[in-house]
Chain A
Amino acid sequence: MPSSFSVNKGKISDFIKHTFYLNTHMNLTDNNHLEIENCKQILEYNNIRVKLQTSNMIVSVWGSNLSVEDYNMDGIVINGEFSSLEFEKIQGVKNA
């Protein structure tokens, strides 16, 4: 059991999200390939920044020559040279 779940074990919504894999899953390879599941929307997209909204947070990827692929079925692949990642909690969602 992940620790985040143990903290919020009383909440049914977290349980459902966890059970049905509705959380934001990320797979980072080095600093140039990032796969994010359950991406809801692209909020900002340019050469140096991709800002995404997932189910429970906003993820900002900073870098250079960023490109987006396979943005379909709530999954997204970001390629490029990443310099930093930022996570921002969506208001109303705890422990993002």
Chain B
Amino acid sequence: MLDNIRGVCKFRVFCESPEAFINRLKMSRVSAKGLQVKEGVLYGEIYGFDLKALERITKSETAQIEILSEYGFIFTLKKYRLRFGLAAGVIIASVLIFYLSNIALKINVYGNTTLSDEQIISIINDYGITIGTYLPNVSLRSAEFDIISGVKEIAWIGLRRSGCIVEAEVSEMTVPPEIVDTNLPCNVVSTQNAQIVKINAVPIGMLVPMLYDTVKKGDLLVSGVITGKLTNSYLVHAMADITGRYEEKKVFTQNLIDAAIDYDSPQRRQKFYLFGLEIPLYLPREQTGDFEYEAELSRFNFFGLQLPAGIINEKITPYKPSQVSYSLAEAKKLLYEKISDYEENFFKDEGVTILERRENFIISKNAVTIETTYVLESNICKTEYIFGENDK
């Protein structure tokens, strides 16, 4: 084993006096093995690092040396000593292995239930641990402490390093459920000027108006103060589900000459991303005027592991403000789109039923206006605390 590392060289020497040659070897502290004289020729073995001394002795003794065989790491190394590319490759690989094993290439998150992996990674990034961070320069313990004390959604976080991967084990804060205080006495009042068309349920409280009665906004629908004939008055937390029918007016306007944005054709360019460094793959020049900017990073993959290197694809779309003029038909079409969006957002999503829609067109010189009157049906109940707790 040791011989394979230091190398062994078998040789033979043609000399007048093998004895003198051996004595010279001894004086030069050259360790020789298996010395044998056959027909006046000296055979033997020496270690690789003694080869120069042997050659020197041979020269001074006017003898001839012949190397029979060489083996061992030193001789292999000697054979490849002029292959600089190989040496450079070994050095670069060593440096890369050292560097890549000390930087964060991936952040794994465990134990999260409500927060997504991306959210937690973003939090960790904010505290100085990102893909490409040189990990020996980062204190994971202080980052843990900072995250626990600074992020209220996280109750505990454990950061540990596994080679080039940062493992984050998270324990999220338990969110307390929303507590509806059903013990506080309250009335139920109307939210609209409406006609009561359906009384779905009044589980607690005393109903004040009757079916098909009209009520004003803020009128009492269900009282939380119950007065019995044989008992004293007492307060309850009134609850009700009462549907009312009411009208609502809304005005939609569309200018015939409106502001618009003119987009130019987008410019696409790329940057090389390496450990957070962005190297432009184009000649940098200042972008003038207004523009929209989109960038997307595509990381290189190595057997499923995302490397801290990749390509950033940028899309720059210049634009300038302009004016656009609409015809009457186009303006009306835009108005109906607005109305449709409004109904979708404010009525359908809120559980409001549209019974009727009346439209009144007003066409002026610069704009088209639609005055819309809706007949709607919805729950008109609103809780109002008796003892001024309405802010809750």
B-binding residues in A (CB < 8 A): 41-47, 65-72
Give chain B residues whose Cβ lies under 8 Å from the Cβ of A69: 32-35
Closest 4 CB pairs of A and B: A67-B36, A68-B35, A42-B19, A45-B19
B162: min CB distance to chain A, Å: 51
Q: In the complex, what residue of chain A is closest to B45 when comparing beta carbons?
A: A69
Residues of A within 8 A of B32 (CB): 69-72
B34 touches A45 (CB 8 A): no
B24-36 interface bits toward A, Cβ cutoff 8 Å, 1 = contact, 0 = none: 0110011111111
Determine whether B38 belongs to the interface, using a CB cutoff of 8 Å to chain A: yes
Contact A45 B26 (CB under 8 A): no
Q: Which A residues are CB-close (under 8 A) to B33?
A: 69-70
In the bound complex, how far is the Cα of B38 from the Cα of A69, in angstroms? 15
Q: Report the minimum CB–CB distance from B11 to chain A (whole Å).
A: 14
* B281: interface (CB < 8 Å): no
| B22 and A45 contact, CB distance less than 8 A | yes
13 additional A-B residue pairs with CB within 8 Å, beyond A45-B22, A47-B36: A41-B23, A42-B22, A42-B23, A44-B19, A45-B37, A47-B38, A68-B35, A69-B32, A70-B31, A71-B26, A72-B26, A72-B29, A72-B32
Say what secondary structure dominates the interface of chain B. mixed
User: Chain B residues near A68 (CB, 8 Å)?
Assistant: 22, 35-36
Interface residues of B (CB under 8 A from A): 18-19, 22-23, 25-26, 29-38, 40
Q: Which residue of A lies closest to B38 (CB)?
A: A47
Min CB gap B390→A, angstroms: 104
Q: Is the CB of B19 within 8 A of A43?
A: yes
Q: What distance in Å separates the Cβ of A77 from its nearest Cβ neighbour in chain B? A: 9
A71 to B19, CA, bound (A): 12
Check if A71 sits within 8 Å of B25, measured CB to CB.
Answer: yes
CA distance A32 to B247 in the complex (A): 124
In the complex, which residue of chain B has the Cβ closest to the Cβ of A66? B36
CB distance from A42 to the nearest CB of B (A): 5
CA–CA, A11 to B31, complex, Å?
A: 35
Closest chain A residue, CB of each to CB of B22: A42
With beta carbons under 8 angstroms apart, the residue of B31, B34, B36, B38 that contacts A72 is: B31
Tell me if B37 and A46 are in contact (CB < 8 A).
yes
A-B CB contact pairs (8 Å), 30 listed: A41-B23, A42-B19, A42-B22, A44-B19, A45-B19, A45-B22, A45-B35, A45-B37, A46-B18, A46-B40, A47-B37, A66-B36, A67-B34, A67-B35, A68-B22, A68-B35, A68-B36, A69-B32, A69-B34, A69-B35, A70-B33, A71-B22, A71-B25, A71-B26, A71-B32, A71-B35, A72-B29, A72-B30, A72-B31, A72-B32
Q: How far is the CA of A71 from the CA of B22 in the complex (A)?
A: 8
Query: What separation, in Å, do the CA atoms of A65 and B22 have in the docked complex?
Result: 17
State the CA gap A81–B373 with chains docked (Å). 126
When distances are taken between beta carbons in the complex, the residues of chain B under 8 Å from A71 are 22, 25-26, 32, 35
**Taking CB as reference atom, which chain B residue is nearest A80?**
B36
A82–B33 Cα distance when bound, in Å, is 19
Beta-carbon nearest neighbor of A73 in chain B: B29
How many Å lie between the Cα of A42 and that of B27 in the bound state?
Answer: 12
**A44 cross-chain contacts in B, Cβ below 8 A:** 19
CA distance A62 to B19 in the complex (A): 16
Please, which residues of chain B bring their CB within 8 A of the CB of A41? 23
B36 contacts across to A, CB distance below 8 A: 47, 65-68
Closest-by-CB residue of A relative to B26 is A71
Q: Inside 8 A of A46's CB, which chain B residues have their CB? A: 18, 37, 40
Which of B18, B32, B35 counts the most A-chain CB atoms under 10 A from its CB?
B35
